[in-house]
Amino acid sequence: MLRLGRREFDAHEPVVMAIVNRTPDSFYDQGATFHDEPALARVEQAVAEGAAIIDVGGVKAGPGEEVDAEEEARRTVGFVAEVRRRHPDVVISVDTWRHEVGEAVCEAGADLLNDAWGGVDPKLAEVAARYGAGLVCTHAGGAEPRTRPHRVAYDDVMADILRVTVGLAERAVALGVPRESVLIDPGHDFGKNTRHSLEATRRLGEMVETGWPVLVSLSNKDFVGETLDRPVKERVIGTLATTAVSAWLGAQVYRVHEVAETRQVLDMVASIAGHREPAVARRGLA
């Protein structure tokens, strides 16, 4: 059982996490939800389309203009509070690596801290423990926040992913983070080249076998673009194909831009796997 905020999810229940970037320079939407009104509209749409989690980010993952903790908090804290007011039951996640921001957003009502940079600030897990919030433990290959990988190498990329993410998860629980609220993430593109991310996807079952719920953040990423030689706006099909494979291998949470399309893929895979009944089953029965 995965428990986040007021929500509980069964082991075979796929969960959609919708991305809402509060940044003016996000790689995919180019700042479309930087201002409050379009960002809140995005939340409404995502929830209507089947997202159970809203993931709020105040800093672009890649290199760009410097954003300090105060500015990151300014972009996220008030927004989290408003989403909490409008949607009492939705799970609110905040994508941050800084404990100061984690503390502020938890005070505002966040349920989950999405640490995409692999525990670079060890105090973030302490914040999650103090507030009873969930934590995403990600493999970033030791990369510093907002840097791109350069000639990174692993003897065995999945072995390193397992060592880091399981280690972070166990530390979080030891600090007091609820075990049922901890997820692990292979960190596609983070500290990895395209071949590493493809191998991490191919071997995702090894993460599932650890017993920790697995979150994947695949949406329109560079490894999809390089694999298919497609620009950012033409990566949806590759993303959905990767989503289907990840679902078949047992990942549970999917951080995405395209909520409705992802929901259909996940429902179809769940029905093929025998975990979900068809929405309608009339063929051959009339």
Q: Which of 42, 192, 221, 235 is catalytic?
A: 221
As a whole number of angstroms, the distance between CA 258 and CA 17 comes to: 10
Pairing mode, strands 2-4 and 7-9 = antiparallel
Residues with Cβ within 8 Å of 209's Cβ and at least 6 positions away in sequence, in order, are none
Active site residue 60: no
Residue 50 near residue 260 (C-beta atoms within 8 A): yes
Write the burial class of residue 31 (CB in 10 Å: 0-12 exposed, 13-18 middle, 19+ buried). middle
Active site residue 221: yes
As a whole number of angstroms, the distance between CA 116 and CA 145 comes to: 9
Residue 122 near residue 78 (C-beta atoms within 8 A): no
Q: Which of 123, 255, 276, 283 is catalytic?
A: 255
Q: Which residues are catalytic?
A: 221, 255
